[in-house]
Amino acid sequence: MLVAIAVWHAALAGCTGLPAAATGASREEADIRATDARWLAAARAHDLEQTVSYWTDDVYMMPPGGPPILGKDALRRYVAGAFATPGFSISWVTDHIWVAKSGDLAYAVGTDTIRLLSPGGQPIEEHNKAVAVWRRGPDGAWKCAVDIWNAAEDTATAAASP
């Protein structure tokens, strides 16, 4: 449970290369980015209900090393556990967002950093890479429907690899 929360991430840098007003997809990307920024602020404040509100009711979360977390009730318990972990904090950066032509689905990739304290009080810092699938609801609001992450490559190990 210590490591889990990683990817509420999706906070994204666009890949269309066009100004935001140029295309519908750019406007949608801007909407997702604004939503993601509010989500991150809620997570940093440990506001449980506000944080959970950015996932769909039927969310499918796939944390590393554990079973999927299905639905908002299970997700709420998971996030509450993370927030209760001593020293827990999360931050994320979304690097890219791609919006479907239909305008109601998008996916984003990015990175996150999770900090917490071990049971012995030692600081732990995790760096992860993540994918989030965003879905626009009937009310027009974007929410995260699928959330998955795993450990980012250790740069020291990567540099030593042939």
Instruction: Report percent pLDDT > 70 for the chain.
Output: 80
Confidence grade of residue 153 (pLDDT, cut at 50, 70, 90) = confident
Confidence grade of residue 1 (pLDDT, cut at 50, 70, 90) = very low
Query: What is the C-alpha separation between 9 and 148, in angstroms, rounded?
Result: 9
Query: What is the C-alpha separation between 37 and 100, in angstroms, rounded?
Result: 21
**pLDDT computed for residue 10 by the predictor:** 31
pLDDT digits (tens, 9 = 90+) for 2-24: 333 333 333 322 333 333 344 56
Residues in CB range of 140: below 8 A, 6 or more apart? none
* 24-154 belongs to CATH 3.40.630.10: no
Per-residue tokens: 58: 């039927």
- Each domain of the chain, given as residue ranges in start order, spans 24-154
**pLDDT computed for residue 140 by the predictor:** 96
pLDDT digits (tens, 9 = 90+) for 78-125: 999 999 999 999 999 999 999 999 999 999 999 999 999 999 999 999
pLDDT digits (tens, 9 = 90+) for 49-69: 999 999 999 999 999 999 999
